[in-house]
Amino acid sequence: MCIDDRTRRDFFKTAAAAGAALTGVQALAAPSAAHAQEATAGFGEKVALTDVRVFDGQNLTAARTVVIDNGLIGVSALGARTIDCEGAVLLPGLIDAHIHLQDVDTLAALAGHGVTTGLDMACFPPSLVTSLRRRRGLTDIRSAGTPAVAPGSPQSRLPTFPASGVVNGPDQALRFVQQRIAEGSDYIKIIVDVPGLSEETVRALTTTAHAFGKAVMAHATYAATVDEALDAGVDMVHHVPLDTALTAAAAARYVAGGAISVPTLTMMEGFGALGIPGLSYAAAEDSVAALHRAGVRILAGTDSNLTPGIPVQPAFGLSLHHELELLVAAGLTTREALGAATYLPAQSFGLRDRGAIRPGYRADLVLIDGDPLADITATRAVRRVWAGGVEVPAAA
């Protein structure tokens, strides 16, 4: 079932008056040695976590010792202060593949719930992103910065939206991409929706971003706009349709083009509950089931935001645990859901220093009670969190 343009306009009037449709993502280069030294310098005492079971990407290991040494996972426990974990489970720091940064308090909220990496899918001005990077003991971030939007779109009418984000045609693709790179965007975000950019403009933006080595994130909440994004060859499609479920053929297109899905079921569930005619959460859930059956790589992202006027505002950090539960309800195994919030986003974004608990990786760690492979809700029972080797207060 397709919905008419009036219904789509009503949806965006309700949902995006203050920028609800912002998203994005790409592959990032591995951190340089200089950056790694800067990020982990001066992290205090050496700590050995004993009697802890580790999620290794597939299973939980037998009880072992994990060492935190100068912000990284260490090898030797010699000289370390010991913390007896009493058989609890240690996860790699969780990664939320779709957030919208607000301020330093949002980083603290993310970290408190065990989300030690946040992948921002659109925020502005550029100085906001700069101010939130490399905060010691807080969630580490990457960002799309300003997204590409169509003239007359809900985003373009925001009083704070940068004029440089409005793209009038394919001839402006080079200008847009170069400006984002100059501002420090880690990947390029494109709003592909109604009213949205023309197919030619989306293709030009994608081609240009790829020429500069930047991955492309597409926002698409309708089956038709998902097709447009896939036609353009984007790297990741954020959200899943609310109008009609993706078919097996559509899911196969993801696989053929190597596209990754970030369904943001938490946000889709919220909008589905608003009762907007022609839209339903069932379509979103069925879409994830189709993508999963086809073997599409699926990442956990929440669309967490504090944007005034947006009727759905998933809570930073806490909502990622709900996202994992929704992914399991849509057909993923608990193991796959954990992977969707740990090693898979790390791989997909080229973050080669996290997503697993291995010597030399960032000491991004979450200690929880219970077995998340038996019951995914166990991830909510956060006991302790380390972000880059610094212990941070766990949320209540």
Mean of the pLDDT values across residues 330-359?
98
What is the length of the chain? 396
85 vs 56, 111, 390, CA distance in Å? 17, 20, 17
- Identify whether the C-beta of residue 363 lies closer than 8 Å to the C-beta of residue 392: no
Tokens representing 80 are 């370390």
**Residue-wise pLDDT tens digits, 364-383:** 999 999 999 999 999 999 99
Strands (E), the chain: 47-54, 64-69, 72-74, 81-84, 89-92, 94-99, 115-120, 140-143, 188-191, 216-219, 236-238, 260-262, 365-368, 382-387, 390-392
- Identify whether the C-beta of residue 223 lies closer than 8 Å to the C-beta of residue 203: no
Q: What is the mean pLDDT of the chain?
A: 90
The answer on 38 and 22 residing in a single domain is no
**Residue-wise pLDDT tens digits, 317-344:** 999 999 999 999 999 999 999 999 999 9
* CATH assignment of the domain containing 40: 2.30.40.10
The answer on 113 and 84 residing in a single domain is no
111: how many CB neighbours lie within 10 A of its CB? 32
* Number of domains composing the chain: 2
374: how many CB neighbours lie within 10 A of its CB? 10
The answer on 66 and 12 residing in a single domain is no
Domain of 239? 5-27+94-348
3-class secondary-structure state, position 357: coil
For the entire predicted model, the pTM comes to: 0.90
The secondary element (H helix, E strand) that includes residue 13 is helix 5-15
The answer on 103 and 67 residing in a single domain is no
- Identify whether the C-beta of residue 224 lies closer than 8 Å to the C-beta of residue 266: no
* DSSP assignments along 192-214, one per residue: -SSS---HHHHHHHHHHHHHTT-
Integer Cα distance of 393 and 396 in angstroms = 9
**Residue-wise pLDDT tens digits, 227-263:** 999 999 999 999 999 999 999 999 999 999 999 999 9
The answer on 257 and 206 residing in a single domain is yes
The answer on 13 and 107 residing in a single domain is yes
The answer on 175 and 43 residing in a single domain is no
The answer on 386 and 260 residing in a single domain is no
pLDDT category of residue 154 using cuts at 50, 70 and 90: confident
The answer on 340 and 310 residing in a single domain is yes
